[in-house]
Amino acid sequence: MNTKISISKEFTWSMAHMLADHKGKCKNIHGHTYKMLVELERNDTGVINNKGNTEHGMVKEFDDVKKIVNDLVVDKLDHAFLYWIDSTDELEHDVASLLKKHNRKLVNINYRPTAENLASDFFEKINKELKPLDITLKELILWESPTSFARVRA
């Protein structure tokens, strides 16, 4: 029998942003406690067990997954202001300049920081890191509130 097994790990962090040119309340500076779930699957076709798999029965060690995702996403963004460098909103540029002047945590991105765009960016970065390990990121879910999320699937 050919069985595939996946593992999942959750991450949380807090981050602020604003949505330039947005008509609703999210045009204002605001923050979220983000939660992200990543699901990984090995690319080999054999049964994952403790008899012949090079990972000793694991898709990937959870601590290794934690290190990869923290290095690529969480540690960079936790308690930062996410700044869209191509924003047409003068206020967003002013806020970013002020934060930079006062040596506050600021992360520049080249896309509008919506949950959908963030999830897509995180998916690409994490999946690229996992490919050489023969592991696929099957799904990434990014919650920006307890009831609202974006999902990316392979």
Question: For residue 101, what are its two tokens?
Answer: 């002047």
Question: For residue 71, what are its two tokens?
Answer: 């290095």
Residue 92 exposure: Cα atoms within 13 Å on the Cβ side: 25
Marked catalytic residue, from 26, 39, 55, 93: 26
Based on the residue annotation, tell me whether 32 is a catalytic residue of this protein.
no
Based on the residue annotation, tell me whether 22 is a catalytic residue of this protein.
no
Report how far residue 61's alpha carbon sits from residue 41's, in angstroms, rounded to the nearest whole number.
Answer: 12
Dihedral in degrees, nearest 10, Cα atoms 93, 13, 149, 59: 130
Marked catalytic residue, from 17, 41, 92, 144: 144
The DSSP output letter for 133 is G
Based on the residue annotation, tell me whether 102 is a catalytic residue of this protein.
no
The DSSP output letter for 75 is H
Marked catalytic residue, from 22, 30, 79, 124: 79
Buried b (16+ CB within 10 A) or exposed e, 113-146: bbbeebbbbbbebbbeebeeeebbbbbbbbbbee
Return the active site residues.
26, 79, 144
